[in-house]
A = this chain, B = another copy of it.
Amino acid sequence: MTTAQRLPARTRLLQTADRVLFDRGIRATPVDELLREADVSAATLYTHFGSKDALVAEALRVRLADWRAVWDQHVVAAADDTARLLAVFDAMAVYRSDQHHPARWCAFLAAATELPETADEIDDALAADTALLAERLLHLSRPLAGERAQDLADEVLLAYGGTLAAFLRGSPRSPIEAGRRLAHSAVRAHRRA
């Protein structure tokens, strides 16, 4: 058991937080459980992050960066404007199936629900997620809907959020397929107009 291959405690904590907090619930997971799973002492956590909330906020920032990268790949790989806009659903499928990023549904919406009126850091992370989605979807909607791009972007954002809510609800069975179809019909509606 050499220490050579061992990742630093901070990294282990972040990975464990991402894996456990957003899958079992943020408030439902006590700090002690994180410490046990990450094999880290309490003192180390609090020297690195200062509080559980700050760890949550940092885990959200990392998650957003990862998600953004996955989404990027699927946008650049898409063939045409429609595929680029709908790439968000393909990215979601890949991101969710990735064993390194389990989650009951959306980590950001879960944080907003579980932790109302807490650290500003967490609100900021949620705002950053929403801003990324809104800006990108608007940008990707422009070539398809022109002046009506904002409406189309709003609709695709709703289809995205509805897909996430469907995971929480457990219905329908294939949320991503339904979400993609929904967004697709929104695109067709705007192209005709």
| Chain B residues near A186 (CB-CB < 8 A) | 181-182, 185
Range class of the A interface residue count = 35 or more
Q: Are A112 and B24 in contact (CB under 8 A)?
A: no
Decide if A144 is an interface residue (CB 8 Å cutoff): no
Decide if A8 is an interface residue (CB 8 Å cutoff): no
| Chain B residues near A188 (CB-CB < 8 A) | 185, 189
Decide if A151 is an interface residue (CB 8 Å cutoff): yes
Q: How far is the CB of A169 from chain B (nearest CB, A)?
A: 5
Q: How far is the CB of A86 from chain B (nearest CB, A)?
A: 14
Residues in A75-118 with C-beta less than 8 Å from chain B? 104-106, 109-110, 112-114, 116-117
Decide if A65 is an interface residue (CB 8 Å cutoff): no
CB closest residue in chain B, given A118: B28
| Chain B residues near A117 (CB-CB < 8 A) | 28
| Chain B residues near A110 (CB-CB < 8 A) | 113
Q: Are B171 and A165 in contact (CB under 8 A)?
A: no
Q: How far is the CB of A119 from chain B (nearest CB, A)?
A: 14
Q: How far is the CB of A162 from chain B (nearest CB, A)?
A: 3
Decide if A134 is an interface residue (CB 8 Å cutoff): yes
| Chain B residues near A25 (CB-CB < 8 A) | 113, 116
The 4 nearest A-B residue pairs measured at CB: A162-B162, A161-B165, A158-B162, A185-B189
Q: Which residues of A contact B (CB under 8 A)?
A: 24-25, 27-28, 104-106, 109-110, 112-114, 116-117, 126, 130, 134, 151, 154-155, 157-166, 168-172, 175, 178-179, 181-182, 184-186, 188-189
List 19 additional A-B contacts (Cβ < 8 Å) besides A130-B169, A181-B186.
A27-B27, A106-B165, A109-B113, A109-B169, A110-B113, A112-B168, A113-B113, A113-B114, A130-B171, A134-B171, A154-B178, A155-B181, A158-B162, A158-B175, A161-B162, A162-B165, A164-B165, A185-B185, A188-B189
